[in-house]
Amino acid sequence: MNAPFGDGKVAISLMRKFTDSPINAGSLPFAGTALAFHTLDGTPFTVTYAVDAEAKSPTTGTTQ
């Protein structure tokens, strides 16, 4: 699904909590350029996150 964002569009995905526990916690591998967090009903919440990244050289799509 796409949503308007600025002068373009972004791909969106709905993620739901992993358990029925009252403590919402989890881990989600992600590759992309942006994340946005919100609830479906607008309930306030707190997000804590960490970034673990590895810089890679760009590729040109050709083989050598």
Q: What is the pLDDT of residue 19?
A: 64
- Is 10 buried (19+), middle (13-18) or exposed (0-12) by CB count in 10 A? middle
Residue predicted with more confidence, 64 or 33: 33
Structure tokens at 49: 């996150």
- Tens of pLDDT, residue by residue over 10-63, are 888 776 666 666 666 667 777 777 777 877 788 888 888 888 888 888 877 666
Structure confidence at residue 64 (pLDDT): 54
Q: What's residue 43's pLDDT?
A: 84
3-state SS, one letter per residue, for 30-48: CCCCCCCCCCCCCCCCCCC
Beta bridge partner(s), residue 8: 5
